[in-house]
Amino acid sequence: MEIQKTKKEWIAEGEDVFYKTYNRFPVVFERGEGLYLYDTDGTAYQDFYAGIAVNALGYGDPEYTAYIKEQADKLLHVSNYFYNTPSIRAGKKLTKAAQMDKVFFTNSGTEAVEGALKIARRYAYDKDGSHDHQIIAMRNSFHGRSTGALSVTGNDHYQEPFKPLLPGIRFAGFNDLDSVKALFNEKTCAVIMETIQGEGGIYPADRAFLEGVRALCDQYGALLILDEIQCGMGRTGKMFAWQHYNVRPDVVTVAKALGNGVPIGAFLARGTAASAMVPGDHGTTYGGNPFVCGAAEKVLDIFESRELTAHVEKVGRYLWKELEAVKAKYDIVKDHRGMGLMQGLEFAVPVGPIVTNALLEQKLVLISAGTNVIRFVPPLVIREEDVDAMIGKLAAAIESVGR
Ligand SMILES: *Cc1c(COP(=O)(O)O)cnc(C)c1O
């Protein structure tokens, strides 16, 4: 029998074995129930970050959990040499929700971005057989940590130690249409951007910007790749954030909430982009296996049966109103941005100490986005009273660090 370890001991052991790429919060979570996480001491924490916008249904949703248990008993994995029924069902539902023609299932967000970039390269190569085409990406963006995704992530701090990265990437300013226009030329094969910049600090694309980029892509025959890994899957009150705008992307990346905690991502494409890659061009061993696709299939079912997007729209509006009041009350809060249940409060100071000390003391889990922004990406099933509970703890935390 294992002797009961203290939190301190667990953390020391973790630090001993893990490759040190994270500074973790000093909490060891053991289980989750509904909208609360429980640490090894049995302390409950209100969850308002959803495992970084992943746990859309909260913890232990009975319908979801029963379904993935059943699938675990039936079949976990067969590889893509064979068909499997959960992936076909999930694929049909996801392509329909995303208004796309084809889907490829991946194991993560960054792999979805890799696939999208390969579509862009392949699409351009098919046109003129050359290797000198360019991709426009945005400053302050985040697309993942694998080398291709890192190459389009507009963050010097993340990129610098790992150069040289992919050639042919040019960076424009997000919401600065002129800066995009200035980079466009006949060698431009794609623009990649988040519809709402997440890690960069919760910046939604302006309508004129996104629609203007779409028009430039059409003018030059370039693909518009929208990274909806964080802002997609109902988070903004529509299945995908671009559905608030008068645009449709050619390629979309999805992950985070798609599996509600089971690791799955996807890239989707339509039109010419949907047939740019051919057999032999791309593959994965795990991607799209019956277990993870069973999870995605159930998540998509639940979105429909519980009308989650309408729910997010409503609770998102309530969260907006409450956070506006917080902004009005505290001078330290400078700005408030976002859509649906993806919102950010920008502070006059770095929020690291607030998030890791003051908020944890209130038994509330929130995370930052960028240096000065607290990010609100709760489970999509929260109710107005959960917002009220969160606001009370947030206000107490702000007061404890001084307004
Ligand atoms: C989280 C995220 C990614 C990377 O996803 P991983 O699953 O961590 O690889 C890519 N793009 C955006 C917009 C994200 O928020």
Residues 282-318: tens digit of each pLDDT: 999 999 999 999 999 999 999 999 999 999 999 999 9
pLDDT tens track for 316-328: 999 999 999 999 9
Q: What is the pTM of this model?
A: 0.98
Mutate to test the pocket of ligand 1, among 22, 108, 256, 373 (most ligand atoms within 8 A of CB): 256
- Residue 143 C-alpha to ligand 1 middle, in angstroms? 5
Residues 6+ apart with CB under 8 A from 120: 135, 189, 190, 192, 223, 225, 251
- Residue 321 C-alpha to ligand 1 middle, in angstroms? 28
pLDDT tens track for 230-261: 999 999 999 999 999 999 999 999 999 999 99
- Residue 230 C-alpha to ligand 1 middle, in angstroms? 7
pLDDT tens track for 343-389: 999 999 999 989 889 999 999 999 999 999 999 999 999 999 999 99
Cβ of 200 below 6 Å from ligand 1:
no
Q: What pLDDT, on a 0 to 100 scale, did the predictor assign at position 285? A: 97
pLDDT tens track for 81-116: 999 999 999 999 999 999 999 999 999 999 999 999
Structure tokens at 135: 């991709």
Q: What pLDDT, on a 0 to 100 scale, did the predictor assign at position 3? A: 72
Selected catalytic residue, list 238, 256, 298, 393: 256
Q: What pLDDT, on a 0 to 100 scale, did the predictor assign at position 356? A: 87
pLDDT tens track for 120-147: 999 999 999 999 999 999 999 999 999 9
Q: What pLDDT, on a 0 to 100 scale, did the predictor assign at position 402? A: 79
Nearest CA to ligand 1 atom 5: 109
Average pLDDT over residues 74-80: 98
Cβ of 108 below 6 Å from ligand 1:
yes
Does 1 score more than 60 pLDDT?
no
CB 138 within 8 A of CB 197: yes
Q: What pLDDT, on a 0 to 100 scale, did the predictor assign at position 129? A: 95
Cβ of 229 below 6 Å from ligand 1:
yes
Closest CA to 353 of 14, 21, 26, 20: 26
- Residue 199 C-alpha to ligand 1 middle, in angstroms? 9
Catalytic-residue membership of 142: yes
Mean pLDDT of the chain: 97
pLDDT tens track for 56-71: 999 999 999 999 999 9
In the chain, what percentage of residues exceed pLDDT 70?
A: 99
Q: What pLDDT, on a 0 to 100 scale, did the predictor assign at position 359? A: 95
Residue 164 preceded by cis peptide, ω within 30: yes
Mutate to test the pocket of ligand 1, among 55, 111, 152, 230 (most ligand atoms within 8 A of CB): 230
Nearest CA to ligand 1 atom 8: 109
Nearest CA to ligand 1 atom 11: 143
Nearest CA to ligand 1 atom 10: 143
SS (H, E, C) the chain: CCCCCCHHHHHHHHHHHCCCCCCCCCCCEEEEEECEEEECCCCEEEECCHHHHCCCCCECCHHHHHHHHHHHHHCCCCCCCCCCHHHHHHHHHHHHHHCCCEEEEECCHHHHHHHHHHHHHHHHHHHHCCCCCEEEEEECCCCCCCHHHHHCCECHHHHHHHCCCCCCEEEECCCCHHHHHHHCCCCEEEEEEECEECCCCCEECCHHHHHHHHHHHHHHCCEEEEECCCCCCCCCCCCCHHHHCCCCCCEEEECHHHHCCCCCEEEEECHHHHHCCCCCCCCCCCCCCHHHHHHHHHHHHHHHHCCHHHHHHHHHHHHHHHHHHHHHHCCCEEEEEEECCEEEEEECCCCHHHHHHHHHHCCEECEEECCCEEEECCCCCCCHHHHHHHHHHHHHHHHHHCC
- Nearest atom, ligand 1, residue 113 CA: 10
Catalytic-residue membership of 227: yes
- Residue 228 C-alpha to ligand 1 middle, in angstroms? 9
Q: What pLDDT, on a 0 to 100 scale, did the predictor assign at position 214? A: 98
Instruction: Report the C-alpha gap between 359 and 345 in whole angstroms.
Output: 14
pLDDT tens track for 146-177: 999 999 999 999 999 999 999 999 999 999 99
Catalytic-residue membership of 256: yes
Q: What pLDDT, on a 0 to 100 scale, did the predictor assign at position 395? A: 96
pLDDT-derived band of residue 279, with 50, 70 and 90 as boundaries?
very high
Q: What pLDDT, on a 0 to 100 scale, did the predictor assign at position 403? A: 64
Cβ of 230 below 6 Å from ligand 1:
yes
